[in-house]
A and B are shown apart, each in its own frame.
Chain A
Amino acid sequence: MTLVLRGVAKDYGATRVLDGIDLSMEPGEFVCVVGASGSGKSTLLSLIAGLTPASAGSVSLAGAPVTGPGPERGLVFQSGALFPFLTVAENVAFGLRLLPISRADRERRVRWYLGEVGLSSLAGALPRQLSGGQRQRVAIARALACEPAVLLLDEPFGALDVQTKEDMQLFLRQVWRDTGTTVLMVTHDVEEAVLLAQRVLVFACGPGRVAAEVPIDLPAYRALTVKRTSSFLGLRATVEDLVRSHMLTPEREKV
């Protein structure tokens, strides 16, 4: 199963927000996309998820073209987008309920994913009773329960405080290693991208396109302390400079 994008472009009216995106992902890969706001990062995920059609080019998963949304491409929103009227366990079970599987099988799967995200004790809680970090854990478990070929994350930790965010980053690496799922994550946080990914794509603005690709050759097991190593700091500086040099600030636009 491989995600392949070829010459993908997206226009909103007369404005081209994405242009000439070529991307391919190996199964089990963890890729982060960074770029200044307005570089079309979120639009990219929306195209892969099948929520918006591409204006040009093709998106395909394991050779089959993407024509609409589906559970093989799980998407996690920044807000979590949990169903507020369902409990945590019911949220995780949402996708499974649409499939012809037995109740026992469904419950077993829900239990496993709740355990994986550390929320077994909150199975009966409503989303409004959860903290921001817990909500994102539920959203990730809900997407993973459908066993997606690729997990798409749209700035999933953007609204969290720094400590919670670090916990969630370690948690996501852990989940990725446990489940072997392919992850494509959009973020504006360069440090996060370097900490998590095996490969970072830097997007340029106006129109959004891939400006650079930085392989992250850090150890497979990464603790938070990796952030203090010189190789991490070097990679972070490189990516930060790339992001900044491909930014299109309003001041520059006026010039």
Chain B
Amino acid sequence: METTPGDDRLWPGRVQFALLATRKVEALMSARTAEPAAAPPDEERRAWEPLPRRSDRPGRLRRRPPGSGASIGKNRSGAGGPSLRARWGLRAASVLVPLALWAAVSTAGLVDPTFLPSPLAVLEAFAEMLGSGQLLDDTLASLGRVGTGFGLAVLISVPLGVAMGTSAVALALLEPAVGLLRYMPAAAFIPLLIIWLGLGEPSKIAILVLGVVFFNTLMVADAVRRVPGELGQAAATLGARRGEILRKVTWPYALPAVVDAARINAAAAWNFVVVAELIAAESGLGYRIVRAQRFLQTDKIFAVLVVIGIVGLLIDVALRLLRDRLGRWVA
């Protein structure tokens, strides 16, 4: 509202104030409650056609018996949508149907088993690798790299993100650089990192850090920026100083969202470790895939892929549980 005070602009108010000042309150009241001089013309409106009504499209919004409590937009939990049992059935189908298709295709002999091993062959390969301890060693090697690389990336990105989310200076300084680096694929850095750091562990850790750190920084900054400003102001009026507001208000409020950001980027880290191991490694799940490829052991490749998927899912579930524990206060 641009209201530059000018004499002409304010005079209706002044007239009324003058009325008040002379105690003609009644005149003012009657002026306010008086009927309008003439009823608004509504001949035009009367000529309008009644608005057409949209017919129910069957199937889109199923009619439910009255009192079932279902309402639009509340389909997520219980009341609407499929029942609990039906949902678990659908979840099982989402895994079992592709598995059955795979079994059917391989037993029918449609594809050479060298290219597409049967589920049973994959299970055998899995048991063999598990029995020799190879699978466990490889999984632990990959997990160790993710732990180091992802942990380092979190240690770097969280302080950077908090700085970007709370300080305009840090935001202006860091956002362009981080935003640019984020779009450079980490995998494309692999040759450069091998030249710089050699074929050993440091180059693999570096790929993980590069792949995660920029995304995580921006996501942490976003989480911190979403903390309502009113909470910081309330804390300030209760005597909190800048650092105390950051520690006692901003950080605890943002923490569940920060863990959520880490969860999403952990998936990326788990991907990058396998990519790094595909190129140069002596251990790890990615290395196991390359080895199996050399001997055309597609059954082993499949078994390792399934392990990668399951471990990734477990990491996700663990971080989800952590987030839910830290964010119990979230409505």
Binding site for B on A (CB under 8 A): 14-16, 38, 49-51, 68-71, 73-75, 77, 79, 81, 83-86, 94-95, 98-99, 126-128, 139, 142-143, 146, 204-207, 211, 237-238, 241-242, 244-248, 252-253, 255
Contact = CB atoms under 8 A, between A and B. Distances in A.
Which DSSP category, helix, strand, loop or mixed, fits chain B's interface? helix
Contacts of B189: none
Nearest to B233: A51
A49 B238 CA distance: 10
Interface of B: 1-3, 5, 9-10, 12-13, 16-17, 19-20, 25, 28-29, 32, 228, 230-231, 233-240, 244, 248-249, 252-253, 328-331
Nearest to B32: A244
B239 A71 contact: yes
Contact of A146 (B3, B29, B239, B331): B239
30 contacts: A14-B2, A15-B2, A16-B5, A38-B1, A49-B233, A69-B233, A71-B237, A79-B230, A81-B234, A83-B253, A84-B329, A94-B235, A98-B240, A99-B239, A142-B238, A143-B237, A143-B238, A146-B238, A206-B5, A206-B10, A241-B25, A242-B20, A244-B16, A245-B17, A246-B17, A247-B13, A248-B13, A252-B13, A253-B9, A255-B12
Nearest to A252: B12
A69 B236 contact: yes
B238 A94 contact: yes
A66 to B, nearest CB: 12
B121 to A, nearest CB: 52
Given A14-B2, A70-B237, 10 more contacts: A15-B1, A81-B231, A94-B248, A95-B240, A146-B238, A146-B239, A206-B5, A237-B25, A245-B13, A253-B1
Nearest to A251: B12
A138 to B, nearest CB: 11
B331 A241 contact: no
Nearest to B329: A85
B89 to A, nearest CB: 33
B179 to A, nearest CB: 29
B239 A253 contact: no
B238 A241 contact: no
Contacts of B233: 49, 51, 69, 75, 77, 81
A85 B3 contact: no
Contact of A207 (B5, B236, B244): B5
A77 B234 contact: yes
A73 B237 contact: yes
A255 to B, nearest CB: 7
Nearest to B28: A241
A245 B28 contact: yes
A27 B231 CA distance: 28
Best-surrounded residue of A15, A51, A247 (most CB of chain B within 10 A): A51
A51 B236 contact: yes
Contacts of B329: 84-86, 126-128
Given A15-B2, A83-B231, A241 B244 contact: no
A211 B240 CA distance: 35
Contacts of A142: 234, 238
Best-surrounded residue of B32, B238, B329, B330 (most CB of chain A within 10 A): B238
B286 to A, nearest CB: 40
A245 B15 CA distance: 9
A20 to B, nearest CB: 12
Closest 3 CB pairs of A and B: A95-B238, A206-B3, A71-B239
Given A84-B329, A98-B244, A69 B12 contact: no
A84 B230 contact: no
Contacts of B3: 15, 205-207, 248, 253
Contacts of B252: 83, 85
Contacts of A238: 25
Best-surrounded residue of A68, A126, A248 (most CB of chain B within 10 A): A248
A128 B331 contact: yes
A232 to B, nearest CB: 16
A243 B133 CA distance: 82
Contacts of B240: 94-95, 98
Nearest to A79: B230
Given A75-B234, A77-B234, A81-B233, A241 B239 contact: no
Nearest to B230: A81
A89 to B, nearest CB: 14
Best-surrounded residue of B12, B28, B228, B244 (most CB of chain A within 10 A): B12
Contacts of A252: 12-13
Nearest to A70: B239
Nearest to B15: A245
Contacts of B19: 245
Best-surrounded residue of B234, B329, B331 (most CB of chain A within 10 A): B234
Contacts of A85: 252-253, 329
Contacts of B253: 83-85
A128 to B, nearest CB: 4
